[in-house]
Amino acid sequence: MSSCVEYRRPGDRCTRMDTSQALQAARDNHQSVLTTLRKDGRPQLSNVVHAVGADGVIRISTTSDRAKAANLRRTPWAALHVNGPDFWSYAVLEGDVELSAVATDPQDGATQELVELYRALQGEHDDWDDYRAAMVRDARLVVRLTPTRAYGALAR
């Protein structure tokens, strides 16, 4: 748990942030910014969509050749920034990352996890066979972020 940030509008109140509050913010807004670490230690930010599982793990789909995937293979840590209902309201979830296997077969476990992620974000697909083939063709994988720290400011 951390204290509220100092930069907020005069008169605004914010709550102390804990992981459960930050996860709720991430459930409320699936659009976020993922921060990974480059080889030189500097941050790389990527706009992503994510889903929060019942287990509290945040899942993101990406292709295996993206910089974020390379960064996470080298340094399996990330931070996810999620906006709240207004500009001054946000949550950040930091934690360890695990990468799924790359989808190599339309019926493999990686592809099935990507199907489950799609369902969590979009519902049912019009053509699951085509979707599964695209996951293999794109060499997609799932980023699994397990939050260990949260901070931010959520308006009361």
The span from the CA of 28 to the CA of 154, in Å, is: 12
CA–CA distance, 156 with 152 (Å, rounded to integer): 13
Look at the chain and report how many structural domains it folds into. 1
Q: Is residue 47 part of a domain?
A: yes
Q: Which of 41, 17, 31, 148 is nearest to 89 (CA)?
A: 17
CB 19 within 8 A of CB 147: yes
Question: What pLDDT score does 142 carry?
Answer: 98
Considering the domain boundaries, does residue 86 fall inside one?
A: yes
Domain that holds residue 72: 19-102+145-153
pLDDT by residue for the chain (156 residues), tens digit each?
333 444 444 555 555 688 999 999 999 999 999 999 999 999 999 999 999 999 999 999 999 999 999 999 999 999 999 999 888 899 999 999 999 999 999 999 999 999 999 999 999 999 999 999 999 999 999 999 999 999 999 876
Q: Quote the pTM value.
A: 0.89
34 inside domain: yes
* Predicted local confidence at residue 16, as pLDDT: 60
CATH of the domain at 79: 2.30.110.10
